Amino acid sequence: MKTTYVYWRDDLFGSTVDLMEVDIPEFPGIGWLITRVTTPIKLRNKGYATNVLQMVLEDADKEGETLLLGVSPDEPNIDINRLIKFYERHGFVYQSDNIMIRNPNG
């Protein structure tokens, strides 16, 4: 059975402005899988995803866990290369087929 952690940040009015879901598979040694990242369009480019991702990175580093994610924007106006660069700035390394990996303390 896997464990799912949900990280989020709320704005001043209590609504969720960014969301990340991280799944921890039942098999040790695989790492944590970031399965969902959501930021409302009107709130993008304001640092919310960076703040939430930082929480995930800190927890993964503390636990010595590798992070994995697949870059696959669900909206046609999102530039996949821009997303890849965003994750690279946070220590992720592009593998192939839009898969990225970040080792602990990456």
Asked if 94 contacts 84 with a C-beta cutoff of 8 angstroms, the reply is yes
Contact 26, 1 (CB under 8 A): yes
Both structure tokens of 101: 């990996």
pLDDT in tens, the chain (106 residues): 456 777 666 665 555 555 667 776 656 677 888 887 777 777 788 887 888 888 889 988 998 889 999 998 777 788 899 999 999 999 999 999 999 999 998 6
Residue 54 token pair: 């930082």
What CATH number labels 3-102? 3.40.630.30
| Of residues 60, 46, 48, the one with CA closest to residue 91 | 60
Cα separation, 60 vs 65, in Å, equals 5
Q: Where are the domains of the chain?
A: 3-102
Q: What is the pTM of this model?
A: 0.78
